[in-house]
Amino acid sequence: MAYSGDPISAHELLFKPAHSIIDQSLHSTMGATTTNGDGFGIGWYSDVAPGPGCFKSIEPAWNDVNLREVAARIRTPLMFAHVRAATGTPIQRSNCHPFRHDNWLWMHNGAIREFHTVKRELTMAVDPTLYPDIEGSTDSETLFFLALTFGLTDDPFTAVARAIGFVETVGHRNGVEFPFQGTIATSDGTSTWAFRYSSEGKSRTLFFSTAVETLHKTHPDLAILQEVGAEGRLIVSEPLGDLPGAWQEVPESAAGVVRPGDDLLQPFEPIR
Amino acid sequence: MAYSGDPISAHELLFKPAHSIIDQSLHSTMGATTTNGDGFGIGWYSDVAPGPGCFKSIEPAWNDVNLREVAARIRTPLMFAHVRAATGTPIQRSNCHPFRHDNWLWMHNGAIREFHTVKRELTMAVDPTLYPDIEGSTDSETLFFLALTFGLTDDPFTAVARAIGFVETVGHRNGVEFPFQGTIATSDGTSTWAFRYSSEGKSRTLFFSTAVETLHKTHPDLAILQEVGAEGRLIVSEPLGDLPGAWQEVPESAAGVVRPGDDLLQPFEPIR
Amino acid sequence: MAYSGDPISAHELLFKPAHSIIDQSLHSTMGATTTNGDGFGIGWYSDVAPGPGCFKSIEPAWNDVNLREVAARIRTPLMFAHVRAATGTPIQRSNCHPFRHDNWLWMHNGAIREFHTVKRELTMAVDPTLYPDIEGSTDSETLFFLALTFGLTDDPFTAVARAIGFVETVGHRNGVEFPFQGTIATSDGTSTWAFRYSSEGKSRTLFFSTAVETLHKTHPDLAILQEVGAEGRLIVSEPLGDLPGAWQEVPESAAGVVRPGDDLLQPFEPIR
Amino acid sequence: MAYSGDPISAHELLFKPAHSIIDQSLHSTMGATTTNGDGFGIGWYSDVAPGPGCFKSIEPAWNDVNLREVAARIRTPLMFAHVRAATGTPIQRSNCHPFRHDNWLWMHNGAIREFHTVKRELTMAVDPTLYPDIEGSTDSETLFFLALTFGLTDDPFTAVARAIGFVETVGHRNGVEFPFQGTIATSDGTSTWAFRYSSEGKSRTLFFSTAVETLHKTHPDLAILQEVGAEGRLIVSEPLGDLPGAWQEVPESAAGVVRPGDDLLQPFEPIR
């Protein structure tokens, strides 16, 4: 889940909504696995320190007392939250999302298939100056570093397209039919880019919230809307709550950006 | 789950069966909660050391690498295994089952209702010499120490009946309609006692395995039966696997004992 | 360590000073044990939420990445920080300091001797309405709840004196020669009380920082002093750094309070 | 610490001796750091399962209850035990020693200097079929996989010499004056090889135990010697206990093997 907008309490975002992300870690209805109990993480930007902070843990999100304590005391204009269902790599903090590099955060729901087979080729393509910054062993973090190598900090749309394109090229070379699956969110603290794509054309779900002014008119009494403000946006894997008209689905093979001023939603295709 | 019989690899018991207890921690079909990810524990007797050992952890059972490593190298004639769904007390090793006192192990699936209200009265009734041995803060451990106070080590049937009777008395005194729910398993390393009872008469499920000789005849090729032997018994909350005729349900308000020679199954009623 | 004063970054307090509390967890020079690696905790007040938050963990303080991440993004006018050297009770989050009740925080460096023997008498003296709020199994938390029972929220000096007095009475009754040892810090979010006392008259050390205006004059260039401000006070077990004249020792059998306006330092004696 | 000989209780080895490895994790006298509290691990061979088991954890060794529980119930003829003082890579189970590949175990006390700079060159030299088996991010594990690449399973002396030689070559190419420091122990379950070498010629200490028959004669009453038997050998970083004549130091730039029949001790030099 990615939030951007007026500063909001992390506790509001994580624990308040019906079918919150914490609830999703226990009872996911749309994810690939019902329970996502292999760790969680939040990354948040604030004015108290430069760069985003990351609180990540291998405890199931629904149990972590420190998360509740900390979340209630964070006010942030931009926050990522993730619950992990591991796809084969160890359960450890360094394998939890979001991943961070400089002031960028990155989350990925999905997988690079047959990662064990293609891992060496992929990591060897990471820029040598970036390679030693890889902390963990996940496919998601490797993809992040490929995107950084291909210029994420200059042009995220192109960089992610090239990264996924490279993953597909290497995958096919190694006999993997559908190398990539998933949704991605990444931010530099001001704008948030989101991607929905899979090699097989059947991707994990991705939703973004309707503009709040619209919701204000249709649901004037809904508490969380008071806090969120006109620029407030949520990008989620599964809708938080059942509010009709509050969520719009990101189409297959699409990418978008949420930022002050105009947002953008456009088709997405890997670059080989 | 409680196993007794010929020495068996803990790995066989924990990971092998279809719908094993590890699988149940993720996808329980009969328990009160679907996921039991609030910690797990195994207790096992062996000839390598006096008294049972306990390996308990707050990691979800399906993720714990050390559990797999250790279980594969334990051979034991009597083992308890438990996955926890917490009912309000903190997630910490000292609140994981099985609990141990001297050479006794204890597990409880269920709850003492309104425990926060009745806790002081219950703990005050624990024998003063035993009280300081209480390590955690669960209702299950408190019940164990009440049973010890009422003579568990001499006569488990009576001691547990008195313990639950006391819980019901105190509960009713404090306006709790149905003070007790659950199944209990306890062992001294030779015999294993099991109980199924609830104040409301609708208790968590409990099954025991059919005599292995019977299963040998009906299913001569089933691998795990080779290991288990004639005295092999399993007591479980939910059947491990779908083998027809392999599991018999323990009735409501009943208690039994599994031991070398004759087992026993009889009605159970709290003593007030 | 207890800080109060102008809002300051928790990171400044925890990680910056020479011989910081994090460093003390590794290389304590004055504590009873050289290494205090059995867990740590911070409690902090802020305007983002009512009541203090607590981040506590059993990881050694010098290793916890989440602590660094969170501390760098907390600004607080009043914070407690503690590293634990366990005295016999389990290593678990609920046994880490600071302890919290409503808006009060509590830390204790030291021990109630022969706690296993006197535990039941002490916990039975805790007010029945408070008893079920005891989360862990430490002597320090039990003392906190005795102090609450004796009116901590109305008159901390008297309540702590009565609590320690009771501990000594019960201890002597059970043949314990020197029942109590230690220093205590407790706060309601506005004022912080500190105590230094032991039955044997040789207590753990306790220091408070010299008024900042004095230090400004003698050390005009010292960075941390810029942040701290005129009301800034630190109460510590061991001095943070070697700054001459920056630390004054609290005498044996003494208690004090730090608060806006006048502070206080006076003799302390248990009340039997 | 590496033990081989008659089957012995892991508990005897880990907790019994004066200045045991558990004690060394708290109060190391000879290591580079006083406290080694960044995780621990044991690897042990037994007849209960093929291949060695590994119990590793980021909890400080002196606190881990499960370690005590498990160790008391392991009987093993060959065991590795390690306490970690991290040299810059994350604290996680996959970065704890011993490392394992097939039936081989590996431990390393020391460091590859400037690892962040040389990491990519080193990992790129690992055999592509082995590369995806690297689980963590430590220099020690990378060195293990280099040794495997250079034929550890055929000729450990040569493989380790080539691995360290390669590390020195790459290090020098990158301006690192003294690329390698440390002692290494590795085993296939029957023999145990040990190495003591550093680029600067001042290596971490390494000791092996005197033949037990000798000790039997000089110390006929020492309990642990009863258990150990004629083939019993201990290889340690710091002596366990003060027994005069019980420990012999491995010289600088030397390597040896302990195995049934004749042991071997010879000079060691990297192969470039």
Q: What digits encode the pLDDT tens for the residues B116-172? A: 999 999 999 999 999 999 999 999 999 999 999 999 999 999 999 999 999 999 999
pLDDT of residue D27: 63
pLDDT of residue D262: 81
| Tens-level pLDDT at each residue, chain C (272 residues) | 999 888 888 888 888 766 666 666 666 666 666 566 788 999 999 888 899 999 999 988 888 899 999 999 988 999 999 988 887 889 899 999 999 999 999 999 999 999 999 999 999 999 999 999 999 999 999 999 999 999 999 999 999 999 999 999 999 999 999 999 999 999 999 999 999 999 999 999 999 887 666 666 666 665 555 566 667 888 999 887 777 777 889 999 999 999 887 889 999 999 99
pLDDT of residue C232: 80
- What is the rounded CA–CA span in Å between residue D131 and residue C167? 61
Q: How many CB pairs under 8 A join B and C?
A: 38
How far apart are the CA of C87 and the nearest CA of chain D, in angstroms?
Answer: 12
Q: Which residues on adjacent β-strands are paired with residue C53?
A: C44
Residue of C nearest to A43 (CA): C69
Chains that touch C (3 or more CB pairs under 8 A): A, B, D
Tokens of B147: 């049973």
The answer to whether the CB atoms of B120 and C132 lie below 8 A apart is yes
Residue of D nearest to A138 (CA): D135
Q: How many CB pairs under 8 A join A and D?
A: 38
How far apart are the CA of A132 and the nearest CA of chain D, in angstroms?
Answer: 6
Tokens of B183: 């199944």
Confidence of residue D216 (pLDDT cuts 50, 70, 90): low
Q: Work out the mean pLDDT of chain A and round it to a whole number.
A: 88
Confidence of residue A87 (pLDDT cuts 50, 70, 90): confident
Residue B225 has pLDDT above 60, yes or no: no
Decide if C158 touches D, using CB distance below 8 A: no
Whose CA is closest to D268, among D249, D251, D247, D244? D251
The answer to whether the CB atoms of A46 and C73 lie below 8 A apart is yes
Confidence of residue A193 (pLDDT cuts 50, 70, 90): very high
- What is the rounded CA–CA span in Å between residue D267 and residue D178? 19
Q: What's the Cα-to-Cα distance from C249 to each of A29, C32, C109, rounded to whole Å?
A: 60, 17, 16
Tokens of A25: 């870690």
pLDDT of residue B211: 67
Residues C259, C265, C268, CA angle at the centre, nearest 5°? Answer: 120
pLDDT of residue D218: 64
For B11-70, how does the pLDDT look when each residue is reduced to its tens digit (9 = 90+)? 888 887 666 666 666 666 666 665 677 889 999 998 888 999 999 999 888 888 999 999
Question: In C, which residues are within 8 Å of B134 by CB distance?
Answer: 137
The answer to whether the CB atoms of A65 and C9 lie below 8 A apart is no
Domains and CATH numbers, chain D: 2-267 (3.60.20.10)
Calculate what percentage of chain D has a pLDDT beyond 90. Answer: 61
Whose CA is closest to B153, among B98, B82, B197, B105? B105
pLDDT of residue D195: 97
In this structure, of A21-25, A140-144, C117-121, D140-144, the range with the lowest mean pLDDT score is A21-25
Q: Which residues on adjacent β-strands are paired with residue A264?
A: A257
Tokens of D108: 């390393």
pLDDT of residue B99: 98
The answer to whether the CB atoms of A58 and B58 lie below 8 A apart is no
Question: Taking each helix axis from N to C terminus, what angle separates C156-173 and C115-124, rounded to the nearest 10 degrees?
Answer: 130
- What is the rounded CA–CA span in Å between residue D207 and residue C29? 31
pLDDT of residue D227: 60
Question: In C, which residues are within 8 Å of D37 by CB distance?
Answer: 35, 37, 60, 63
Decide if D72 touches C, using CB distance below 8 A: no
Contact residues, C window 205-224, toward D, CB-based 8 Å cutoff: none
At residue A128, φ and ψ (nearest 5 deg) are: -55, -30
Q: Give the number of other Cβ atoms within 10 Å of residue B17's Cβ.
A: 19
pLDDT of residue C140: 97
pLDDT of residue B220: 64
Which of C28, C91, C92, C96 should one mutate to test binding to chain D, selecting the residue with the greatest count of D CBs within 10 A?
A: C91
Question: Taking each helix axis from N to C terminus, what angle separates B156-173 and B115-124, rounded to the nearest 10 degrees?
Answer: 130
For A31-86, how does the pLDDT look when each residue is reduced to its tens digit (9 = 90+)? 666 567 788 999 999 888 899 999 999 988 888 899 999 999 988 999 999 988 88
Residue D181 has pLDDT above 60, yes or no: yes
User: Do you know the residue count of chain C?
Assistant: 272
- Give buried/exposed letters for C26-44 (b at 16+ CB in 10 A, else e): bebeebeebbbbbbbbbbb
Residue among B90, B116, B131 whose CB faces C132 most closely = B116
Decide if B135 touches D, using CB distance below 8 A: no
How far apart are the CA of A81 and the nearest CA of chain C, in angstroms?
Answer: 15
For C142-174, how does the pLDDT look when each residue is reduced to its tens digit (9 = 90+)? 999 999 999 999 999 999 999 999 999 999 999
Residue of D nearest to A127 (CA): D120
Residue among A11, A53, A73 whose CB faces C69 most closely = A53
Q: What share of chain C is helix, strand, coil (3-state, %, to 5)?
A: 30, 25, 45
Decide if D135 touches A, using CB distance below 8 A: yes
Averaged pLDDT, D127-141: 96
Q: Give the number of other Cβ atoms within 10 Å of residue A262's Cβ.
A: 7
ipTM score of the complex?
0.88
- What is the rounded CA–CA span in Å between residue A60 and residue B61? 12
Q: Which residues on adjacent β-strands are paired with residue B13?
A: none
- What is the rounded CA–CA span in Å between residue C102 and residue D235? 54
CB B186 within 8 A of CB B147: yes
Strands, DSSP E only, in B113-167? none
Decide if B137 touches C, using CB distance below 8 A: yes
pLDDT of residue D48: 83
Tokens of D212: 């037990």
Residue of A nearest to D57 (CA): A92
CB-count burial class (<10 Å; 0-12, 13-18, 19+) for C134: buried
Confidence of residue D101 (pLDDT cuts 50, 70, 90): very high
Residue among D27, D58, D63 whose CB faces C91 most closely = D63
Question: In C, which residues are within 8 Å of B86 by CB distance?
Answer: none
Question: In B, which residues are within 8 Å of A27 by CB distance?
Answer: 34
Confidence of residue D239 (pLDDT cuts 50, 70, 90): confident
The answer to whether the CB atoms of D132 and A124 lie below 8 A apart is no
Residue with tokens 């916890």: C64
For A204-231, how does the pLDDT look when each residue is reduced to its tens digit (9 = 90+)? 999 988 766 666 666 666 555 556 666 7
- What is the rounded CA–CA span in Å between residue D212 and residue D247? 11
Residue D30 has pLDDT above 70, yes or no: no
For C175-193, how does the pLDDT look when each residue is reduced to its tens digit (9 = 90+)? 999 999 999 999 999 999 9
Residue of D nearest to C86 (CA): D63
User: Do you know the residue count of chain A?
Assistant: 272
How far apart are the CA of B75 and the nearest CA of chain C, in angstroms?
Answer: 28
Residues B268, B269, B271, CA angle at the centre, nearest 5°? Answer: 135
The answer to whether the CB atoms of C35 and D35 lie below 8 A apart is yes
Calculate what percentage of chain B has a pLDDT beyond 70. Answer: 85
CB B152 within 8 A of CB B160: yes
pLDDT of residue C16: 76
The answer to whether the CB atoms of A63 and B35 lie below 8 A apart is no
- What is the rounded CA–CA span in Å between residue C48 and residue C62? 27
Higher pLDDT, D40 or A22: D40
Q: How many CB pairs under 8 A join C and D?
A: 33
Averaged pLDDT, B4-9: 86
Which of A25, A36, A91 should one mutate to test binding to chain B, selecting the residue with the greatest count of B CBs within 10 A?
A: A91
Tokens of B123: 């703990």
**Residues in CB range of B120: below 8 A, 6 or more apart:** C128, C131, C132
Question: In A, which residues are within 8 Å of B60 by CB distance?
Answer: 37-38, 60
Residue D222 has pLDDT above 90, yes or no: no
Strands D192-198 and D180-187: antiparallel
Decide if B90 touches C, using CB distance below 8 A: yes
Residue A17 has pLDDT above 90, yes or no: no
Confidence of residue B219 (pLDDT cuts 50, 70, 90): low
Q: Work out the mean pLDDT of chain D and round it to a whole number.
A: 88
Residue D23 has pLDDT above 80, yes or no: no
Give a three-class secondary structure readout of D84-134: CCCCCCCCCHHHCCCEEECCEEEEEEEEECCHHHHHHHHHHCCCCCCHHHC
Residue among B44, B53, B73 whose CB faces D46 most closely = B73
Averaged pLDDT, B184-190: 97
Question: In D, which residues are within 8 Å of C58 by CB distance?
Answer: 59, 63
pLDDT of residue A15: 83
Which of B24, B62, B92 should one mutate to test binding to chain A, selecting the residue with the greatest count of A CBs within 10 A?
A: B62
Q: Work out the mean pLDDT of chain B and round it to a whole number.
A: 88
Residue among C11, C70, C75 whose CB faces A70 most closely = C70
Residue B222 has pLDDT above 80, yes or no: no
Whose CA is closest to C207, among C248, C241, C245, C244? C248
Q: Structure pTM? A: 0.90
- What is the rounded CA–CA span in Å between residue D238 and residue D246? 12
Residue of C nearest to A52 (CA): C69
**Residues in CB range of B2: below 8 A, 6 or more apart:** B78, B79, B80, B81, B107, B185, B187, B192, B194, B234, B235, B236, B258
Q: What's the Cα-to-Cα distance from A254 to each of A201, A209, A248, rounded to whole Å?
A: 11, 16, 13
H/E stretch holding C140 reads: helix C139-149
Residue B76 has pLDDT above 80, yes or no: yes
Which of C54, C73, C93 should one mutate to test binding to chain A, selecting the residue with the greatest count of A CBs within 10 A?
A: C73
Question: In D, which residues are within 8 Å of A90 by CB distance?
Answer: 92-94, 135
How far apart are the CA of D80 and the nearest CA of chain B, in angstroms?
Answer: 15
pLDDT of residue D81: 94
Decide if D182 touches C, using CB distance below 8 A: no
Decide if A16 touches C, using CB distance below 8 A: no
Residue A117 has pLDDT above 90, yes or no: yes
Residue-by-residue DSSP string for A46-80: -SSSSS-EEEEESS-GGG-HHHHHHHTT-EEEEEE
Residue with tokens 């009969």: B30
Question: In A, which residues are within 8 Å of C56 by CB distance?
Answer: 65-66
- What is the rounded CA–CA span in Å between residue C37 and residue C41? 12
Q: Pseudo-torsion of CA C145, C149, C155, C158, nearest 10°?
A: -90
- What is the rounded CA–CA span in Å between residue C58 and residue B33? 28
Residue of D nearest to C89 (CA): D63
Question: In B, which residues are within 8 Å of A63 by CB distance?
Answer: 37-38, 58, 86, 91
Residue with tokens 């004992």: B257
The answer to whether the CB atoms of C65 and D90 lie below 8 A apart is yes
Averaged pLDDT, D80-92: 88
